[in-house]
C-alpha cells in the first residue's frame, strides 16, 4: 500500500469541501478520475486518481472513496430491507420480526431519550457493589459474558497448534484509546490527545450523573489506570508474532502466572465450562500485571473505570447527549469527521453486528446472482494457479519447502458470497421496547454461541463476516479465504466487465487475501492451519531477508511531516499488497491466455489492469485519519497501497513505458 505528489496537495485534497460526486455508475476504469498531467511512472496514484482528489469528503466520513461508494449502495439495499421489515413485521421468532423490531427500537429516539440510563441500572448497581478483588473480577467476567469489553480480551478461538479443537483465549486490552502507544508516547500530539481523552471521559461521567468535580477526578483515575494497563501491554509489532503470542496454560497453572488474579472466579462467572482444562494467554506478562493491579489499585478506582467502560461500550445506543459526546472525541478529534452519521446508518451498523446473517439472507437475493458467484469462483481458481506458479518460480526456495507450500495452496478453501447454511438466531429475543437492551441481548447471545463451540469439532462452515460486508479475510488456522457478496460489487467485481478490469480491481481482494497465506505471519501456519514450522532454515532466512527489504521500503514513506509508515507494523499487509498485485496480474494473463485482447478506450489490457487496481483504492483521507491509521493500524494508508506495490514491478513499467528503475530488489512472491 517512487515519487510523491506534493504533501500540501494531499492535505488540500483530503479537506476540500466542494460538491459531492453525483450519483453515477461505479466502473473499474473511469477516465473522469485520471489526471493526464501526472506522470504514471513517477506517481501512479496521482495519475490514476488525481482528479478524484477534488472530491469532497462528506462530513460523516474520515475518508471517502470507492469503498464508501460501494458501502452507500449496499446501505441503500439493507435500509430498504430494514424499513420494510419494521413496517410489516412478522411472526414471533421469524427473520422479519427480529430485523423489524431491532430497527424499530433503534429508530425510536423518543423512547431512547425517555429511558435514559435505566436499561443499564442493573450493571451500574453491580459495579457499585464491588467490595473485593474477587468481586471485581466477577463483575468483569459478567460484563465479558454480556459481550462488553473491560479489563482485557476474552473469547473462543481455534487452537493454533491443534486446529481440530477450539480453546478459550485471553488477551491484553481494556483501553479507551486506540492503542497502547497513545498512553506511552511523549510527543506533543500524543499529550494533546490524552488531554482531550481525559476531558471526554469527564464529560461522559458527568452525563451519567457525577458532579463536575467528581467527573474530573474520575477521568484522572481512568487515564492513570489505563496507562498502567498500557505499560504492561505489548506493541502492535510485538503482537504480530504468532509464536510469542501463543502461550498455552493448564487451567491449574494460571494461579502461578498471576496469583493475584481471581481466575476461577472469572471463568465461573464468564461461563467457561469446568471441562476446559487449558487456555491460551496471549500476553502473560499483562495478566501478571493486571492481577497485581486488581489488588493494589483502590477498588473505588476500579469502580470508576468500569462505569466509564460501560458508558463507552454502550454510548452509541443511548440518548443524544451520549452519542454526541462520544462522536466529539472518537469521530471528530481522532478521525477528523465533522458530521455524525445519519441515525439509520448507525442503527443499520448495529443490526449488521447483532443479526447480520438475518439481513444477509435478504440482501443476497437482491445483490448477488448465481452467475456472479460462478465467475468469482473461476477467478479464484486462476489466482490459485498463479500463486502455484509464483511458488514454482521462487528460485530462493528449496523443493522441500515448495512441496509444503503446494500442499497448503491445494488445501486452501474459498467462501464466496454467502454461507451455505444461515446462522440460527432463534435463541435471541428482540423487542421494540429498548434499543440498548436489544444490542446487549444480541452480544450476550453471541458470547454464548462462541462458548458452546468449546468441546465441539471446529465448525469450518462458520463465517466471520456478514454477506453484506464490503471486506474480505484470510484465516490462517482454517486456511481459508472469504469474499462476502458485499465486496464482490462494482468496481471490484462486475460480472459484465472485462477481465482486465475485474482482475486488476480484485488484486487488492483475491490476490491480497491469498498472499496472506504466505506473508510473514501466514507462512508460519501449515496446510492444516497449525502454527508449525514447515520451512527449511535456509528458506526461512531467505524469506526474512526479503521481508526486511519490504519493511525498509515502507519505512521510507512519509505520510505527514515527521510521520512515517512503520514498515514492521504493516509488514504483513504490505507483503499481501505487493504479492497480491503480482498474483492477480499472473491470474489475469492465465485467464486471457487464449483470448484476443484489444485496447479499450485508448488503454491496452495491461494498462486497464493496473488502472483498475489503482482506482480500486481511490480515496481521500483526512489528516487526522491518516495519523490515526499510521499510529494504530497494521495497514498502510491508501496512497501507499498503490505506490508500494508498483514500485518494483517490471510489467507495470512495461505497460506505461517507464524507464528501468535505478534500483530493484528481489520479490517474495
CA distance 48 to 613: 9
Q: Cβ(28)–Cβ(615) under 8 Å? A: yes
**Residue 561 CB-density burial (10 A; 0-12 exposed, 13-18 middle, 19+ buried):** exposed
Residues of the chain with CATH 3.40.390.10: 351-655
CA distance 213 to 220: 11
Strand partners, 484: 417
- Sheet with 278-281: list strands edge to edge: 153-159, 162-171, 278-281, 248-250
Q: Cβ(477)–Cβ(529) under 8 Å? A: yes
Q: What is the pLDDT of residue 23?
A: 54
The DSSP letter of residue 653 is H
Residues of the chain with CATH 1.10.1380.10: 136-317
Please name which of 542, 549, 560, 556 lies closest in space to residue 643, comparing C-alpha atoms: 556
Q: What is the pLDDT of residue 496?
A: 85
φ and ψ of 133, to 5 deg: -60, -35
Strands 413-417 and 480-484: parallel
Q: What is the pLDDT of residue 456?
A: 96
Q: Cβ(384)–Cβ(413) under 8 Å? A: no
**Cβ neighbours, 10 Å, residue 403:** 11
SS (HEC) of 224-282? HHHHHHHHCCCCCCHHHCCCCCCCEEEHHHHHHHCCCCCHHHHHHHHCCCCCCCEEEEC
Strand partners, 414: 481
Residue tagged 485519519 (cell numbers): 625
In terms of CATH architecture, what is 351-655?
Answer: 3-Layer(aba) Sandwich (3.40)
**What is the average pLDDT value for the chain, to the nearest integer?**
94
CATH of 136-317, one of 1.10.3720.10, 1.10.1380.10, 1.10.510.10, 1.10.10.10: 1.10.1380.10
CA distances, 470 to each of 77, 178, 496 (Å): 13, 23, 19
DSSP E strands in 10-128: the ranges are 63-65
Q: Cβ(539)–Cβ(396) under 8 Å? A: yes
**How much is the pTM?**
0.93
b/e burial code for range 596-628 (CB count within 10 A of at least 16 → b): eeeeeeebebbbbbbbbbbbbbbbbbbebbbbb
DSSP E strands in 485-576: the ranges are 558-560, 563-564
Q: Cβ(279)–Cβ(159) under 8 Å? A: no
Q: What is the pLDDT of residue 11?
A: 26
Q: Cβ(621)–Cβ(63) under 8 Å? A: yes
> How many CA within 13 A on the CB side of residue 434?
17
Q: What is the pLDDT of residue 14?
A: 30
| Residues 76-111 pLDDT 10s | 999 999 999 999 999 999 999 999 999 999 999 999
Please name which of 458, 461, 518, 519 lies closest in space to residue 162, comparing C-alpha atoms: 458
CA distance 76 to 580: 31
Q: What is the pLDDT of residue 24?
A: 63
Q: How far apart are the first and last CA of the chain?
A: 16
> Average pLDDT for consecutive 10-residue bins of the chain (669 residues)?
27 30 72 97 98 96 96 96 95 95 98 98 98 97 96 97 98 97 96 98 98 98 98 97 98 95 96 97 98 97 98 98 98 98 98 98 90 94 98 97 98 96 96 98 98 97 97 98 96 92 96 98 98 98 98 97 97 98 98 94 97 98 97 97 97 96 92
List the grid coordinates of 31.
Answer: 477516465
| Residues 527-539 pLDDT 10s | 999 999 999 999 9
Q: What is the pLDDT of residue 5?
A: 26
Q: Which helix (H) or strand (E) holds 158?
A: strand 153-159
CA distance 526 to 397: 16
DSSP E strands in 278-430: the ranges are 278-281, 413-417
Residue tagged 476446559 (cell numbers): 276
Amino acid at each position: 500500500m517512487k515519487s510523491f505528489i506534493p504533501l500540501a496537495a494531499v492535505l488540500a485534497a483530503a479537506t476540500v469541501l466542494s460538491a459531492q460526486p453525483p450519483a453515477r455508475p461505479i466502473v473499474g476504469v473511469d477516465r473522469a478520475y485520471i489526471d493526464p498531467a501526472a506522470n504514471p511512472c513517477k506517481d501512479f496514484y496521482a495519475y490514476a486518481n488525481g482528479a478524484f482528489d477534488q472530491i469532497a469528503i462528506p462530513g460523516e466520513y474520515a475518508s471517502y472513496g470507492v469503498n464508501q461508494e460501494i458501502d452507500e449502495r449496499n446501505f441503500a439495499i439493507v435500509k430498504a430491507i430494514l424499513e420494510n421489515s419494521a413496517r410489516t413485521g412478522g411472526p414471533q421468532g421469524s427473520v422479519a420480526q427480529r430485523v423489524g423490531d431491532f430497527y424499530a427500537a433503534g429508530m425510536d429516539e423518543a423512547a431512547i431519550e425517555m429511558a435514559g440510563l435505566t436499561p443499564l441500572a442493573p450493571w451500574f448497581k453491580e459495579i457499585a457493589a464491588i467490595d473485593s478483588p474477587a468481586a471485581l473480577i466477577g463483575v468483569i467476567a459478567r460484563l465479558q459474558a454480556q459481550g462488553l469489553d473491560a479489563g482485557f480480551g476474552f473469547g473462543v478461538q481455534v487452537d493454533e497448534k491443534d486446529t481440530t479443537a477450539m480453546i478459550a483465549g485471553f488477551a491484553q486490552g481494556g483501553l479507551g484509546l486506540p492503542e497502547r502507544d497513545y498512553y506511552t508516547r511523549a510527543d506533543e500530539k500524543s499529550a494533546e490527545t490524552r488531554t482531550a481523552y481525559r476531558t471526554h471521559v469527564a464529560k461522559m461521567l458527568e452525563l451519567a450523573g457525577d458532579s463536575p468535580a467528581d467527573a474530573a477526578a474520575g477521568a484522572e483515575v481512568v487515564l492513570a489506570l489505563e496507562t498502567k494497563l498500557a505499560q504492561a501491554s505489548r506493541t502492535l509489532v510485538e503482537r504480530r508474532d504468532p509464536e510469542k503470542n501463543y502461550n498455552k496454560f493448564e487451567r491449574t497453572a494460571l494461579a502461578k502466572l498471576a496469583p493475584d488474579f481471581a481466575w476461577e472466579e472469572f471463568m465461573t462467572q464468564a461461563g467457561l465450562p469446568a471441562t476446559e482444562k487449558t487456555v491460551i494467554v496471549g500476553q502473560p506478562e499483562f495478566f501478571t500485571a493486571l492481577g497485581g493491579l486488581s489488588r493494589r489499585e483502590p477498588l473505588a478506582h476500579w469502580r470508576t473505570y468500569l462505569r466509564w467502560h460501560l458508558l463507552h461500550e454502550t454510548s452509541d445506543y443511548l440518548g443524544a447527549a451520549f452519542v454526541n459526546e462520544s462522536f466529539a472525541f472518537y469521530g471528530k478529534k481522532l478521525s477528523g469527521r465533522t458530521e455524525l452519521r445519519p441515525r439509520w446508518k448507525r442503527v443499520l451498523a448495529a443490526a449488521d453486528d447483532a443479526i447480520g446473517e438475518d439481513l444477509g439472507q435478504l440482501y443476497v437475493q437482491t445483490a448477488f446472482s448465481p452467475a456472479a458467484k460462478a465467475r468469482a469462483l473461476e477467478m479464484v481458481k486462476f489466482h490459485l494457479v498463479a500463486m502455484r506458479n509464483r511458488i514454482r518460480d521462487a528460485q530462493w526456495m528449496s523443493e522441500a519447502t515448495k512441496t509444503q507450500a503446494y500442499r497448503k495452496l491445494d488445501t486452501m478453501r474459498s467462501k464466496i458470497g454467502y454461507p451455505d447454511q444461515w446462522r440460527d438466531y432463534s435463541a435471541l429475543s428482540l423487542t421494540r421496547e429498548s434499543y440498548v437492551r436489544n444490542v446487549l441481548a444480541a452480544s450476550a447471545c453471541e458470547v454464548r454461541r462462541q462458548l458452546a463451540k468449546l468441546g465441539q469439532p471446529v465448525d469450518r462452515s462458520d463465517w466471520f463476516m456478514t454477506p453484506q460486508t464490503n471486506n474480505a479475510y484470510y484465516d490462517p488456522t482454517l486456511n481459508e479465504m472469504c469474499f462476502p457478496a458485499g465486496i464482490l460489487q462494482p468496481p471490484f467485481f462486475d460480472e459484465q466487465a472485462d477481465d482486465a478490469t475485474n482482475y486488476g480491481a480484485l488484486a487488492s481482494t483475491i490476490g491480497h487475501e491469498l498472499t496472506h497465506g504466505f506473508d510473514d505471519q501466514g507462512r508460519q501456519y501449515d496446510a492444516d492451519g497449525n502454527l508449525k514450522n514447515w520451512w527449511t532454515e535456509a528458506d526461512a532466512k531467505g524469506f526474512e531477508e526479503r521481508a526486511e527489504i519490504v519493511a525498509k521500503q515502507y519505512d521510507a514513506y512519509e505520510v505527514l511531516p515527521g510521520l512515517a509508515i512503520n514498515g514492521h507494523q504493516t509488514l504483513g499487509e504490505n507483503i499481501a499488497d505487493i504479492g497480491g498485485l503480482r498474483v492477480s496480474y499472473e491470474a489475469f494473463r492465465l485467464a486471457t491466455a487464449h483470448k484476443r485482447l484489444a485496447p479499450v478506450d485508448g488503454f491496452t489490457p495491461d494498462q486497464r489492469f493496473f488502472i483498475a487496481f489503482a482506482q480500486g483504492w481511490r480515496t481521500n483521507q483526512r489528516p487526522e485519519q491518516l495519523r490515526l491509521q499510521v499510529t494504530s493500524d497494521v495497514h498502510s494508508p491508501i496512497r501507499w497501497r498503490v505506490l508500494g506495490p508498483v514500485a518494483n514491478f517490471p510489467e507495470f513499467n512495461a505497460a506505461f513505458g517507464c524507464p528501468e528503475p535505478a534500483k530493484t530488489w528481489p520479490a517474495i512472491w
